[in-house]
Structure 1
């Protein structure tokens, strides 16, 4: 199983929510986890792009990665 690192602020918010039952930090937790998930997805797409066995798979993964990063078509090569 892989390890995932989160920011100190997200960790503290998770502690406040679970141990102190503070519902005020739910929005912070949701945003932090969504950002982390997006980062993990982008990393997986980049790794797939770099390790693809065929040129078709590599190009498809590259396009998916660039779309996820929000790079406009006019800026791509």
Structure 2
């Protein structure tokens, strides 16, 4: 299992929520976790693109990465 680092603000919000039962930080936690999931997904897609064994798989992974990133067709290489 890999370790994942989170921002200090997210850690503090998680601690407040779980240890101090402060429910007001719930939207902050949700946003922080969604941002982290997005960054993990983007990193996995990029790694998949860079390490694909065949040119066909590499091109498919590149397109998937650029689609997720939101790069328009006219700006792609």
Taking structure 1 as the reference length, what is the TM-score of the superposition?
A: 0.97
Give the aligned partner of residue 38 of structure 2: 38
Which residues of structure 2 form unaligned runs of 5+? none
Query: Cα deviations across residues 20-62 of structure 1 (Å, max 9, x unaligned)?
Result: 0011000000000000000000000100100000011000100
How many pairs are equivalent?
77
Give the aligned partner of residue 52 of structure 2: 52
Give the aligned partner of residue 62 of structure 1: 62
Q: Take 1:66 and 1:57, find their aligned partners in 2: how far apart are those partners?
A: 14
Which residues of structure 1 form unaligned runs of 5+? none
Q: CA RMSD in A?
A: 0.6
Give the aligned partner of residue 28 of structure 2: 28
Q: Take 2:36 and 2:68, find their aligned partners in 1: how far apart are those partners?
A: 14
Poorly superposed stretches of 4+, deviation over 6 Å: none
Taking structure 2 as the reference length, what is the TM-score of the superposition?
A: 0.97
